[in-house]
Amino acid sequence: DFPLKLSENLFSYTLLMCSLCFGYIFTFVTLREWVAVESDSIQPRLRPEITRMMELVAKRLSALGATVKMINMNFPQILDGQSIPLPPFILAELGNDIQKATVCFYGHVDVQPAKKEDGWKTDPYILTEKDGQFQEKSSMPVNFKFIIEGMEEAGSLGLEELIKEENESFFSNVDYVVISDNLWLSNTKPALTYGTRGNACFSVEVECCEKDLHSGTFGGIIHEPMTDLVALLDSLVNSSGHILIPGIYEDVASLTEEEKKLYEPIEFDLEEYKNAIGVKRFLYDTKEEILLHLWRYPSLSLHGIEGAFHGPGIKTVVPAKVIGKFSIRQVPHMNISKVEQQVISYLEEVFSKRNSPNKLKVTMPIGALPWVADVNDTQYKAARRSIKRVFGEDPDLIRDGSTIPVARMFQNITRKSVMMLPIGAADDGEHSQNEKISRYNYIQGTKLFASFFLEISNLHG
């Protein structure tokens, strides 16, 4: 059995996730050492710590007999006009038996900023209890590959370029790509993730003049940019959550009977979800409707207005230029360029009806694509069997309403089967204070990976 002793309240989830998939193949796991590294990718001053983390990972992989390459991408991050070099990436291989399936793990070993003062009960970088070790006895049922980065929390800089560069080499013999970087939907029932929504972010700029004006001097005689902008933003979505942009739902994949069936057994407590954030009522009433609208239908959210007066008190200013920010969570098979055009022409039309002399500019600075996999794919079958074996029940087949660009990135570039295999429970508090993983999830998770390797080697044609 697995002798690792862990406290309930632990440490960086992300690091743990990586350690998890490595757990099975590492002869000696020293989590304490990994957790102690402040590999925070948000604060540039800690960049050397990420490099140190990557070196620790490389050392472990090499000790196992893996071939390890540290790749430096010539892709500096520009922050406040300063160029900060990226930490290296790791590409590693363990085993190359052409009779066996090759499973490639994507993982990242960077974390978001965390301090005890943020409300952690223990130092987030200190593993509270004893670390341990375990021995692997039988031979590996699959070949392993690893692609590890240290900049995920800061936007995976350089990763897409690396995957493209390595497509014909490192990825050429990969059969399956596995990502373990998300959570179950429930606190107790395991899940497998087969889709994520994309996101198209928009800026709507309305400008009247060069300088801000005073409402006493100009109020009542001009077309105010903020009034135009609020009307534009209000035209996007109605109070039932329906997006009002013509044609926007045209390409949304229609819901099949098979797909509908996946929603029925999902364990999801609507009341608890509601209470957790303190809202009285959702836009929909049933579990199925809520999950469908969270995962496989688009949504539009308003995020903010740049240039507007904000803060306490009263300021009778008329801002000269305001920029509204909103985004559309996209789903298969919406076409991002088409969405962009639909949004622009709709807002221009709404604006023209206002007969305002102000300048309007609508842009889409960021667009990330959605991702969806076939739940009947070989590696999903293997994962479902393994989950049943290790946890004694079938997993919830879930999607994620947020955007996880790596899944789509791997799928689009390599054209390989991509799966997200989460180990953490819904209440792990990913990225927040006292983020943790339970001993149960950790240990069962490790067994799950072991079982998955065996199942995939059986099913792999």
Ligand X SMILES: *[C@@H]1O[C@H](CO)[C@@H](O)[C@H](O)[C@H]1NC(C)=O
- Residues engaged in binding ligand X (CB under 6 A): 164, 167, 172, 238-240, 242, 258-259, 335, 337-338, 341, 369, 375-376, 412-415
Cα–Cα distance measured from residue 432 to residue 424, given in angstroms and rounded to the nearest whole number: 14
Angle at 95 between CA 195 and CA 461, to 5 degrees: 55
Q: Judge whether 364 and 201 are in contact, CB under 8 Å.
A: yes
Residue closer to ligand X, measured from CB, 40 or 400: 400
Here the tokens at position 123 are: 């130092």
Cα–Cα distance measured from residue 343 to residue 235, given in angstroms and rounded to the nearest whole number: 11
- 152 as an active site residue: the answer is yes
Residue closer to ligand X, measured from CB, 321 or 399: 399
State the alpha helices, DSSP H only, in 303-414.
Answer: 336-353, 378-391, 405-414
Q: Which of 40, 49, 93, 110 is catalytic?
A: 110
Cα–Cα distance measured from residue 260 to residue 292, given in angstroms and rounded to the nearest whole number: 9
Closest by alpha carbon to 453, among 193, 102, 91?
102
* Residue type (1 letter), 10: L
- Strand ranges, E, within 249-405: 299-306, 317-318, 321-330, 359-368, 371-372, 396-400
Minimum distance between the CB of residue 301 and ligand X, rounded to whole angstroms? 16
Residue closer to ligand X, measured from CB, 403 or 414: 414
Minimum distance between the CB of residue 67 and ligand X, rounded to whole angstroms? 20
What is the Cα gyration radius of the chain?
A: 24
Burial class of residue 70, CB neighbours in 10 A (0-12, 13-18, 19+): middle
Minimum distance between the CB of residue 167 and ligand X, rounded to whole angstroms? 4
List, in sequence order, every residue forming a beta bridge with 318; answer none if it has no partner: 213
Q: Which of 38, 49, 152, 175 is catalytic?
A: 152
Minimum distance between the CB of residue 25 and ligand X, rounded to whole angstroms? 25
Minimum distance between the CB of residue 409 and ligand X, rounded to whole angstroms? 8
What is the crossing angle of helices 336-353 and 225-234, to 10°? Answer: 130
Residue closer to ligand X, measured from CB, 49 or 93: 93
Peptide bond into 333 cis (omega under 30): yes
E strand or H helix that includes residue 234: helix 225-234
Cα–Cα distance measured from residue 98 to residue 95, given in angstroms and rounded to the nearest whole number: 9
Minimum distance between the CB of residue 168 and ligand X, rounded to whole angstroms? 6
Residue closer to ligand X, measured from CB, 121 or 242: 242
Residues marked active site are found at 110, 152
